[in-house]
Amino acid sequence: MINTDKNHKHTYDAQGKMTCCTQEEKIYTQAGAKELVNEKHQHDHSDDDGHDHSHSESSPIKMFLPSIISLVLLLVAIAFDNWLPQQWFTGWVRIIWYVVAYAPVGFPVLTDAVKSIRKGEIFSEFFLMGIATIGAFTIGEYPEGVAVMLFYAVGEVFQTMAVSRAKANIKSLLDQRPDEVTVLRNNQPETVKAETVNIGEIIQLKPGEKLGLDGELLSETASFNTAALTGESKPDTKAKGETVLAGMINLNTVAQVQVTTAYTDSKLSKILELVQNATSQKAPTELFIRKFANIYTPIVVLLAVAICVLPYFFVADYEFKDWLYRALVFLVISCPCALVISIPLGYFGGIGAASRNGILFKGSNFLDALSNIQNVVMDKTGTMTEGVFKVQEVVFDKAFNQDEILQLVNILESHSTHPVATAIHEYVGKPDNTIRLENTEEIAGHGLKSTVNGKDLLVGNFKLMNKFGIQYDLDQNSIVYTTIAVAYDNKFVGYITIADSIKEDAQETINLLHKLNVKATMLSGDKNTVVKYVAEQLGIDNAFGDLLPEDKVNRVKEIKAKGESVAFVGDGVNDAPVVALSDVGIAMGGLGSDATIETADVVIQDDKPSKIPLAINIGKQTKKIVWQNITLAFVVKGIVLVLGAGGLATMWEAVFADVGVALLAILNAVRIQRMKFV
């Protein structure tokens, strides 16, 4: 198995981990598949001790209860202060009332501030909100102190709800992996835990049941719903011997599946691991905001101190209370929670939206990279074409026995897994196993060579003929189809033509790429005339055929030398060098190859090329929303910061600049989860 290390393109140091914002860390922790597994485990066993240990299932009323209590007490206090004056509502009674109103929303924040300080994270958002609201109490601005913390708490609840919504798509993947399966042991069905099933055992799957492990179908045929894995709602009918995967739902008849992979190694488990790790790969924008917050927050605290103290030396009628109030307003405004919450939430929303459409990103950095792609370089076979070949014609010299040569070719091709070999098998039939081949070898980029009865047999492209000095009188460029040349006993026998059909959504793919102002380039080891023909049919900008793996690398280098960013689309295994060289490696048909999931940056879970422009569009929309949030936060905060320092903004404007902007940014970030991408 090839394991291509892509870290040479995107490296992250220790600063790539959360160091400044507990809220962002919380988002990523909540997003992790391991925590989701724990939540599921806790939920499943909540009745063991009579308590439900899952906090993520709290109802909205329960989540908002502290804020509701605080709001009611605050409104009553404001009424007593302004509209319904009470003689007893003065002095310590009034102060205690506001403290009680503050406690439900303020105490958790102050607790988090203390915890952050103990971890060495002094300048956290909790610290800023804590000193700002406590400071408001010290100068007698009790209503504003409570209001600031109240709105902050409401914002936190909305943020938690947004994260929970973002988690829903990943949790649905977990729901597709049943805990128990029915296994046939001694010809008797037995229900057991999925993780205890051994490779080789047979699972019995009733209609409507979900498959718990990967395996091979033993029944003649069975139809499955694969939507949870591929995003494709159309039923997929499998034949005996074909691979079926954990998470597929049996639709019609009772089916039997022989387990081929352990529970923890199933494709679905790998997908969950991929999504879990996706949040550890940060986009450059996230890394910048994190580093920015590390510098920005201490600076604004020092500026707040300066706003409070420095005017003493320059202002004639200096009032400490007035300037302290301005400094506290400045602190509330400066809290960077709108950035450090909404930006990672936006990227995670993009990853969730992509996975809902059957596209897996290995990190938000690849969302960013794909949004800037200028040229999509793709393989032909299996990417833009079906990869299902059929023999069109056999043109052999009459001096040779056609049936005999075809049988030899069929036997030799049985050593290959290439789709061309499958086409020949289907055309010729079952190989004659009585015929023995010797010294069989595959020559990369050329074809196969073997020896039969002491005579060399060559089957491959015309470069193979040239390599061994086989003479032929034929203009290969006059043949449009893929051509398999055959030589026997150092003589040219003739050729077999094979055709592959273009995928039904291939044309739509190229049209959408051009609509996104992205070029399309096709690189293939197939015959140049075939590659050019397919490119012309689809309107692909550039196409090159007859390429060896090293030729593909050189072509990609040429494109990158022009300053264009490149995404390569292939199987992620044979084209590993090109995948490593590209800015983003996209694997088609990721469910068919373990190596694909490991090598590619983006995995398209079905074979639809139309998912390529969809992935690019999701990247572009995610980046657009992230930058909208950044712009909104900086512009609003910048304006109110200046007004606050000049004494023109009160705590109420500060609340909007902080909590209001954070709420708007969060609502904007979760919007991507509801978007319909074209």
Catalytic residues: 379
The strand ranges marked E within 96-214 are: 180-185, 188-193, 202-205
- Cβ neighbours of residue 92 closer than 8 Å, sequence gap 6 or more: none
DSSP secondary structure string for all residues of 569-582: EE-SSTTHHHHHHS
* Pairwise CA distance, residues 191 & 599, whole Å: 36
Cβ atoms of 651 and 643 closer than 8 Å: no
Round to whole Å and give the CA distance between 337 and 129: 11
The DSSP annotation for 495-541 comes to: EEEEEEEEPTTHHHHHHHHHHTT-EEEEE-SS-HHHHHHHHHHHT-S
CA distances from 184 to 216, 218, 257, 260 (A): 15, 13, 10, 15
The per-residue b/e assignment along 446-477, b for 16 or more CB within 10 angstroms, e otherwise, is: bbbbbebeeebbbbbbbebbeeeebebeeebe
Are 260 and 202 spatial neighbours (Cβ–Cβ below 8 Å)? no
- Which residue in 667, 644, 646, 22 sits closest to 333, CA to CA? 644
Residues pairing with 282 in the sheet: none
Name the token pair of 259: 């387990």
HEC string for 355-384: HHCCEEECCHHHHHHHHCCCEEEECCECCC
H or E stretch covering 144: helix 142-175
Q: Give the pair of three-digit tokens for residue 145.
A: 């102190």
Question: What crossing angle do the helices spanning 337-356 and 267-278 adopt, rounded to 10°?
Answer: 160
d(CA 520, CA 95): 69
Tokens, residue 34: 């391991």
Instruction: Please answer whether residues 344 and 625 qualify as being in contact, where contact means their C-beta atoms are separated by less than 8 angstroms.
Output: no
Give yes or no for a contact between 138 and 98, defined as CB atoms under 8 angstroms apart: no
Cα–Cα distance measured from residue 142 to residue 134, given in angstroms and rounded to the nearest whole number: 9
Q: Are strands 438-443 and 447-452 parallel, antiparallel or unpaired?
A: antiparallel
Is there a contact between 250 and 235 (Cβ–Cβ < 8 Å)?
A: no
Nearest 5°: phi and psi at 613? -65, -30
Q: How many residues does the chain have?
A: 678
What's the Cα-to-Cα distance from 32 to each of 80, 506, 587, 597, 648, rounded to whole Å? 48, 35, 23, 18, 44
3-state secondary structure of 419: helix
